[in-house]
Amino acid sequence: MIEALEPLVDGGRFAAKAVAGEPLSVRADVFAHGDDLVRAFVRHRRAGTRRWTVAPMAPIGNDRFEAAVVLPEPGHHQIEVLGEVDALAMWRRDATRRAAAGGFDPNDPVIGSRLLAEADELVDGRLGTLADELGRVDGTGPLAAVLAALDELDEVIASRPPATTATPASSELPVLAERPLAAFSSWYECFPRSASSVAGQHGTLADLANRLDYVAELGFDVLYLPPIHPIGTTARKGRGNSPVAGPDDVGSPWAIGSRAGGHTAVAPELGTLADFDELVDEAASCGIEIALDIAFQCSPDHPWVRKHPEWFAHRPDGTIACAENPPKRYEDIYPLDFTTSDREGLYAALLDVVLFWVRRGVRVFRVDNPHTKPFDLWEWLIASVRKVDPGVVFLSEAFTRPKVMHRLAKLGFDQSYTYFAWRDHKDEIVAYFEELAHGPGRTYFRPNVWPNTPDILAKSLQHGGRASFVARLVLAACLSANYGIYGPVFELLVDEPAAPGSEEYADSEKYEIRQLDVGDPRSIRDVVRRVNAARRAHPALQRDGSLRFHRVDNDRLVCWSKRDERTGDAVLCVVNLDPEWPQSGFVELDLGALGLDWDAAYEVRDELDDAAYTWTGPRNFVLLDPARSNAHVLALAPAARSPEPSATFPPSGRGR
């Protein structure tokens, strides 16, 4: 019997996610009736190939087995679990018991010799001598000696491949192996049209290229651009989303399409396709990938409106319906009609858009509102793109119902936006990230956590000033392996809403050019740089599965850790959620989760300011003052000296 396979998503309907070149834990319950002993194996191959790689699984208790599988390259893979009754192990067990009790069954050496001879054919002759010796056994002494000799060959015996009659599990484990960027990435979003160094001048892709060093120095590896395509003029929105645009208003980049082209064109104000190609190349030289926005919608001026009117929904009066989210109306945008009679032609055109940019070197896409398009579109489109390049990464921007978000992740989206912007209180943060890291979606749903976006100036950022921005930065970047910020408004602490109670930015960059001085002394760019440097330096922060929260006797302090099992690297974070007042308390650490003994002395070094202290045992004091520093990102290491009492309660009151 083979049951409870992991990772298995919806009975194998969808693929679990793994990282190419990294171990993937495969588990299953494998058992037989009575007291029969069993062996379990896992085998895997790239989808579409014939050759399997096979490895034994190790028992971990209660009839459960586990093995670490390394899938060597990105793409879809097949994994199977096999089981078989282990006749050789049962013979050893029973013969050993009889020999220990002083009995002798003359059938034991006969059966053992046959089983060892069969096993010998599978392990290149390393058991043949013992098989011959068993054939000559006629008393308890020699049999006991052979059984003892077998103990020395346990590894050889365990290395036997499964028999051709081994039972496969009824369910296959489909797995999508992805390149490391899908599991660990730091995103920086900015509008190219705001990148000019000349006040009031429309920025270009060349201007943005001059910002690459700044983005790289901050430590980001993905530079995400809102749509760079021509913007329509019909029903163009003015500043502040005004329905009437002035002659100098630049419109919303999401109103895609004009006489200059559609989804495969660059807005003339930004430059040319050649300029874009140069930007991609220069970014790569800085260790940065360019991510493009995929927004499948059109302005009234998009070439598709004229060439394919059947791709759009029409009202009874014959006019094309604009986008709506009542009471909001988006007169500058026509949504596509996915019930069109030319569904095949529409789907093919959308795939061509993505492949056009893939062929120009783009391997990362942020997809706008995928939950408003059919599920089957994404399953087909993403699979089709991966046939061309299995390393393309898709981020789903679907702020919608949980089940819809999870379905999109199952369909192939590598990363997903989250509800983080609306999780403010400690209990909300703990519950939500426990769910993300350890809940049923952990095998396929990869969170990408953003404290702000052009659409979301979260309440948590509107009133707390610098302390709130630092707190939300550390929470996002250290709770999740994938995160991003919308800058430079984030590092420059822009926090003015369009109106009281609104999450829209005043003077929103979605509708106007907004040039900000990245050299402003109020910027928290140095904190951003240090946080990203910590993420790169510590493998513990590069995955989510080891996340553990630790108890603190103050609800305004949240404490968590991550630990990389392969390297032993561990990081402990503490954040003060109160942007106004100092908060202190005792943290109660789960030292086992940190790889430390219960009474160990260990050093903690803060990656944000390089301060180092010595702690002992699980209970330690922390004080965080927003006026100085309201977050710790603590790298752990065994202490080189005995702890000093002053290390916990320094006279300065500095947060530990």
Query: Which residues are catalytically annotated?
Result: 368, 397
The answer to whether the CB of 440 falls within 8 A of the CB of 402 is no
Q: Compute the distance between CA of residue 368 and CA of residue 374 in angstroms, rounded to an integer.
A: 13
Question: 641 CB contacts (<8 Å, ≥6 apart)?
Answer: 601, 614
Please provide the DSSP assignment of 62-118 as one string. TTEEEEEEE--SSEEEEEEEEEEE-HHHHHHHHHHHHHHTT---THHHHHHHHHHHH
What's the rounded Cα separation, in Å, for the pair 515 and 518? 9
Within 13 A of 136's CA, how many CA atoms are on the CB side?
7
- Looking at this protein, which amino acid is placed at residue 427? D
- Distance from C-alpha of 346 to C-alpha of 308, rounded to nearest angstrom: 9
Distance CA 597, CA 586 (A): 19
C-beta of residue 96 within 8 angstroms of C-beta of residue 147:
yes
The phi-psi region of residue 219 (left if phi > 0; otherwise alpha if psi is between -120 and 50; otherwise beta) is left
Reading phi first (left if > 0) and then psi (alpha if -120 to 50, else beta), residue 213 is in alpha
- What is the pairing mode between strands 570-576 and 557-563? antiparallel
Containing 383, the helix (H) or strand (E) segment is helix 375-388
How many C-beta atoms lie closer than 10 Å to residue 233's C-beta?
16
Checking 89-97 for CB contacts under 8 A at 24+ apart, the result is 89/37, 89/39, 90/36, 90/37, 91/115, 92/147, 92/150, 93/37, 95/143, 95/147, 96/147
The upper half-sphere exposure of residue 405, i.e. CA atoms within 13 Å in the direction of its Cβ, equals: 18
Helix (H, G, I), strand (E, B) or coil at 404: helix
Q: Are 548 and 573 in contact (CB under 8 A)?
A: no
> Hey, what long-range contacts does 383-388 have (CB within 8 A, 24 or more apart)?
383/412, 384/351, 385/351, 385/354, 385/355, 385/358, 386/75, 386/76, 386/412, 388/355, 388/358
Taking the C-alpha atoms of residue 455 and residue 509, their distance in angstroms, rounded to an integer, is: 10
Token pair 């398009």 is found at 373
Q: Where do we find the tokens 């299995």? A: 390
Return the number of other C-beta atoms located less than 10 Å from residue 289's C-beta.
21
Q: What is the 3-state secondary structure (H, E, C) of 50-69?
A: CCCEEEECEEEECCEEEEEE
Contact 182, 169 (CB under 8 A): no
Contact partners, residue 201, CB within 8 Å, separation at least 6: none
Nearest CA-CA partner of 408 in 416, 18, 350, 335: 416
Nearest residue to 422 via CA among 432, 413, 412, 414: 432
Instruction: Look at the alpha carbons of 515, 223, 263, 313 in this order and tell me if their dihedral is positive or negative.
Output: negative
